[in-house]
Structure 1
Amino acid sequence: MLGKRRALGKELKDISIGDSYSETKKMGDRDLLLYLGLSNDANPLYLQHDYASLTDYKKPIVPSVMLFGMISSIVSMHLPGPGSHITQHEMTFPNPVYHNMNVQFLIKVIAIDHHNQRVAMSVSGTDQEGNEVVKGKLYVCPACKPNTLTAQSLENFF
C-alpha cells in the first residue's frame, strides 16, 4: 500500500439519504478456509460434511461473521469508502448461506446525523435463490479529510 495513493471515500457533506451500493460476492471455499484459518475457528458446522449432514442445515454453512466481514469491506471500500469506520451494527441472519453460493449485498443510507458525524445505513443480503440471508443496520463515521499542515506531509497515506 505504501507508495500507492488511495482516494478517501465520501465525507459526510457528500452523502445523501438514498445513496446505495450493491455487490454480489461468492462464498468460495478459498475465502472460507482463509477466514477459518485466520480466526482459528474449527466449528464442524462450517467444514465437516458428516457433522453438518446430521443438523437441520444438512451441509456446511458460511459463518455469519464472515458475511459481516464482507459487508464491512463494502463500507470500507465503496460506501462511504476508504477512511470510514463502522461504529455500531445490528444484524440478523434469517437463513443460512452454503459454500459456493452467491450473495447480493445492498447497503443504503437511511439517515444522516450531522451532530454525531455519522450515517445510518440499512443492510440486506439475498442468496442466489432469493432468500434473505442478512438484514440489519449500521452506523458509520464517514471519511474525514484532515485539514492540518501535518496532514499535507502525510498525503501518501490517504
Structure 2
Amino acid sequence: MLLRKGTKIGKKIDELSVGERLNLTEKIEDKDLLLYLGLTNDSNPLFIQHDYAAETSFKKPIVPVIMLNGIITSAISKHLPGPGSYILEQNISYLLPVYHYETIEVLLEVQQINTVENIVDVFVTALNEEKQQIIEGVFKVMPPV
C-alpha cells in the first residue's frame, strides 16, 4: 500500500482497547454555523434568525444537530480510531439543544471490540457548559486495516 509521505494511519483494531477515551472541547462560533449553512443550503430560520427563534420554544437560535454530528464524526476520523476509519452505523440521541456560542465537551470511548469483523463500538456523550448531557450515542466504526 502506497501512502503519501507524512500520511498518518489511525489505530488498527489490535491497537485499540476497551475503555480507551478521547475528550475534546468545541466552541460553537458564527463562522462554523455560517459555513455549515452555506455548504448545506439549509435555510431553517431556527438556526440563524434571532427574531424568529425568539418566537419558538427555544427562545434563541440553535445549532443544527447534523453540525454536532460532524464534530463527533470528525473526532472519530482524526483521532479515535483515526485516519482510515469508516463509520458503518450511528445511533444518536440529541437530548438538549445547543445554542450559538456555547462550548461543549465531547467524550468518545471504545465500548466494544469485534476483532473478527474489524468493528469497534464507540460510545459518545456530550455535555454543555452547565454539565448537562446534550448528546448520547454509539457509532459502529471500522478501523483502518
C-alpha distance in 2 between matches for 1:17 and 1:109: 5
Cα drift, residue 3 of structure 1: 6.1
Name the residue aligned to 1:75.
76
**Cα deviation digits, residues 74-125 of structure 1 (max 9, x gap):** 0000110011011100001110100010010000001001121110011000
**Aligned-residue RMSD, C-alpha:** 1.2
Q: 4+ residue runs of structure 1 moved beyond 6 angstroms?
A: none
1:38-79 CA distances to partner (integer Å, 9 max, x unpaired)? 000000000111110011100000000000000000000011
> Normalising by the residue count of structure 2, what TM-score does the alignment of the two structures yield?
0.95
Aligned twin of 1:147: none
Larger Rg computed on CA atoms: 1
Cα drift, residue 6 of structure 1: 2.0
Indicate the residue corresponding to 1:61 in structure 2.
Answer: 62
For 2:132, the aligned partner's letter is N
Structure 1: runs of 5 or more not aligned: 145-158
CA distance in 2, matches of 1:105, 1:6: 26
Question: 17-26 vs 4-13, which deviates more?
Answer: 4-13
Report 1:14-25 matches (<5 A): 14-25=15-26
The one-character-per-residue Cα deviations of 1:115-137 (angstroms, maximum 9, x if unpaired) are 21110011000011111111000
- Mapping for residues 49-128 of structure 1, pairs under 5 Å: 49-128=50-129
Hey, what does 2:141 align to over in structure 1? 140
